[in-house]
Amino acid sequence: MKAIWHIEPAGLDAVLIRFGEQIQLDLVPTITAASQCLQRALGQDLRGMVPSYTTLMLFYDLRKHDFASIQTLIAQQLAELIIDNSVTGRLVEIPVWYDPAVGPDLPRVADYHQINIDEVIHRHTANSYQVFAIGFAPGFAYMGHVSQQLATPRLDRPRQRVSAGSVAIADQQTAVYPTETPGGWNILGRTPMPMFDRTHTELCPVKTGDRVQFKPISKQQFLEAGGVLS
């Protein structure tokens, strides 16, 4: 399948390649393939690359290119890009201890959908989630789609402090807070898996295009895996 795209300037040294206007799972292999293709072809001319839900942003070296020249090179590469929708990213399993002790919004989500906490856990772990983008904080992966049977609005008033490792949902998205930050998502549990490690070659265990499966674990397993209660 051929990709459909549009290139536009996004600052002095950046371009934005737009592949669509609405979040769609079908765009994930397209943006992943484009990222890999452009990294191979233009790697030495690029300073950075940020894939997102419907776009791919490239930062280029102003000593080598202006917008017109980088636009031409990008267009040449994407003109030959063939998308294989059967190709999917890695499946990464994230263990989670689901409990009100570390998931204070479990009762709220259960009440919102008129179900019990066990059913909330079942619905959150029943499917795998696509990693659409990484942002907000280093290692914060935006994932979806959460089923309509579990999707829950954000909190009216964000918390000033959300512990690192907190697994949460907001509307049809789910994520793991990689570091302690403020946040307004519904917290369901906590993972012992580090989601951002600046000492590791791969800073984050997941990347755009990957899929994530959450796996319930016990409190003992959480602690044995290095989980922290705070």
What domains can be seen in the chain, in order of their start residue? 6-79 (3.30.1360.40), 91-224 (2.40.100.10)
Q: What is the distance between the alpha carbons of residues 129 and 212, in angstroms, rounded to a whole number?
A: 5
Res 137: pLDDT: 80
Res 70: pLDDT: 94
Res 110: pLDDT: 98
**Which pair of structure tokens corresponds to residue 147?**
């089923």
**Which pair of structure tokens corresponds to residue 6?**
């549009």
Show the 3-state SS of the chain.
CECCCEEEECCCCEEEEECCCCCCCCHHHHHHHHHHHHHHHHHHHEEEEEECCCEEEEEECCCCCCHHHHHHHHHHHHHCCECCCCCCCCEEEEEEEECCCCCCCHHHHHHHHCCCHHHHHHHHHCCCEEEEEECCCCCCEEEECCCCCCCECCCCCCEEEECCCEEEEEECEEEECCCCEEECCEEEEECCCCCCCCCCCCCCCCCCCCEEEEEECCHHHHHHCCCCCC
In the predicted model, residues of the chain with pLDDT beneath 50 are: none
Q: What is the pLDDT of residues 171-190, one digit of tens each?
A: 999 999 999 999 999 999 99
Res 203: pLDDT: 80
Whether the full predicted model's pTM is greater than 0.85, yes or no, is: no
**Which pair of structure tokens corresponds to residue 189?**
């549990």
Q: What is the pLDDT of residues 66-89, one digit of tens each?
A: 999 999 999 999 988 877 666 667
Res 1: pLDDT: 52
